[in-house]
Structures are given as structure tokens and as C-alpha cells.
Amino acid sequence: MLEERVGELLRQKRMTLAVAESCTGGLLGMRITEVPGSSDYFRGGIIAYSNAVKEKVLGVPREILEKHGAVSPECARAMAEGARRVCGADLALAITGIAGPTGGTPEKPVGLVYIALAHPEGVEVERHEFRGSRQGVRWSASEAALELLRRHLEGR
């Protein structure tokens, strides 16, 4: 399983991880903590479902939320940076998107998800459009986040 592979890599590299989740509502953190011994590398997570929590806890600037919205690469980037800072982790993943089945627009359709990885050298952001049920979108987003982290760790 991907969460086990990521855990092995984090342990080998002696790195810590934090997460900030919106549309996945804690699914990513749950997957990470399903791995026995994950307390060796997992610092914690923040479920920032509302814009108020994104702003007050993670430090996402209000200007980003007003200009770009919560579902944007700018917000994902700020969420990841905030989680890394708040949790004191080497790395942080952030997920923000529209899981559906409602809430989409032509510009931001249901299934649109931004995933960010903050690390000491900067932040990587990916855009995804997933299809399927609400649960399917949420699962696919958590899988894509773990895959982004795996690629980063294997490339180091």
C-alpha cells in the first residue's frame, strides 16, 4: 500500500510529515496513521474545512481566499506551508477541492482538486480532476497526495 511505502521512505530519511485537509476531511491522515509505527514520522493534521480555519489556523491569507477561492493552487500552497509551520514538520501535504456531488461551477467543476507538498526547498502544487462519487473523489485525492509525496521522497 502506498501509505506503507511513504512511511518507509519517511523513516529511512528521518523526515516528519504533517497534513492539511479540506475536501478529504481527514481521510489522508487516517490512511497515514493506519500504518503501525507512523508516530515515528507523522506530526499531525488539520482538517480545515471552513475558510475561517484555513485563515486562522493555517494562516492562509484572506486575500487568497477572496481573490482565488479555497479551491485554488494558491490556497493549496498556503495550506501546505501553514501545516508545515504549525506542526513543525519537514514536509506537509495539503488537499483542497470539490468532492461533490454539488458545489461545482463551469470554472471549478466537481472533482477539481489541488494538492500541495511543502518541503524545505519550496512547494509543489498539482491540479487534478477526478471522476466518480464523492467517496471516489476523496479517495483519489488522498491517493494522489501520497503519490506526490512518494515521488518527492524517492527523488531525494
Q: What is the pLDDT of residues 36-86, one digit of tens each?
A: 999 999 999 999 999 999 999 999 999 999 999 999 999 999 999 999 999
H helix runs in 34-156, sequence order: 51-56, 62-67, 73-87, 134-155
Each residue's pLDDT tens digit, 95-128 = 999 999 999 999 999 999 999 999 999 999 999 9
What is the extent of the structural domain holding 66?
A: 2-155
Number of helices followed by number of strands (H, E) in the chain: 6, 5
- Is the per-residue pLDDT at 156 higher than 70? no
What is the Cα–Cα distance from 47 to 152, expressed in whole angstroms? 23
What total number of domains does the chain contain?
1
- With contact defined as beta carbons under 8 Å apart, do 86 and 19 qualify? no
Q: What is the CATH number of the domain that holds 69?
A: 3.90.950.20
Q: What is the pLDDT of residue 21?
A: 98
- With contact defined as beta carbons under 8 Å apart, do 116 and 79 qualify? yes
